[in-house]
């Protein structure tokens, strides 16, 4: 039979393992946080609030830029993580430009963003 102290120790061991994994794979943390903020911005865009959408999506882009700068300046030189972050950054910027262009065309502004 499991006691409460055994359960707490087992849970804390699993938690520390998860934290250890994430601290060794920071790109997963950066991509997840960036995707969450980017999706929040997309939700505001769907509601028609362009300013809030741009701000949330800008936070996502800035997070990935900060991660890339950290990788370049760090001693670990994790180029695979850097490549993943740059790819995600490119996709986010491309989507922002695409959605902005669609909003301008819907508003009758035309032109390219």
What's the number of domains the chain is made of? Answer: 1
Cα separation, 48 vs 80, in Å, equals 37
Is residue 7 a part of any domain in this protein?
no
Is residue 3 a part of any domain in this protein?
no
Is residue 40 a part of any domain in this protein?
yes
pTM to 2 decimal places = 0.74
Per-residue H/E/C for the chain: CCCHHHHHHHHHHHHHHHHHHHHHCHHHHHHHHHHHHHHHHHHHHHHCCHHHHHHHHHHHHHHHHHHHHHHHHCCCCCHHHHHHHHHHHHHHHHHHHHHHHHHHHHCCCCCCC
State pLDDT tens for residues 82-112.
Answer: 899 999 999 999 999 998 888 888 877 655 5
The domain of 37 spans 26-106
Is residue 55 a part of any domain in this protein?
yes
Is residue 12 a part of any domain in this protein?
no
State pLDDT tens for residues 21-48.
Answer: 877 778 889 999 999 999 999 999 999 8
Is residue 82 a part of any domain in this protein?
yes
Is residue 93 a part of any domain in this protein?
yes
Is residue 84 a part of any domain in this protein?
yes
């Amino acid at each position: 039979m499991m006691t409460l102290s055994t359960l707490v120790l087992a849970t804390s061991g699993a938690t520390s393992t998860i934290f250890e994994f994430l601290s060794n794979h920071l790109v997963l943390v950066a991509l997840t946080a960036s995707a969450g903020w980017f999706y929040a911005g997309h939700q505001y865009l769907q509601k028609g609030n362009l300013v809030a959408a741009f701000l949330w999506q800008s936070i996502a882009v800035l997070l990935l830029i900060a991660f890339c700068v950290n990788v370049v300046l760090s001693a670990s030189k994790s180029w695979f993580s850097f490549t993943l972050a740059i790819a995600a950054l490119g996709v986010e910027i491309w989507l922002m430009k695409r959605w902005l262009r669609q909003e301008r065309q819907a508003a009758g502004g035309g032109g390219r963003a």
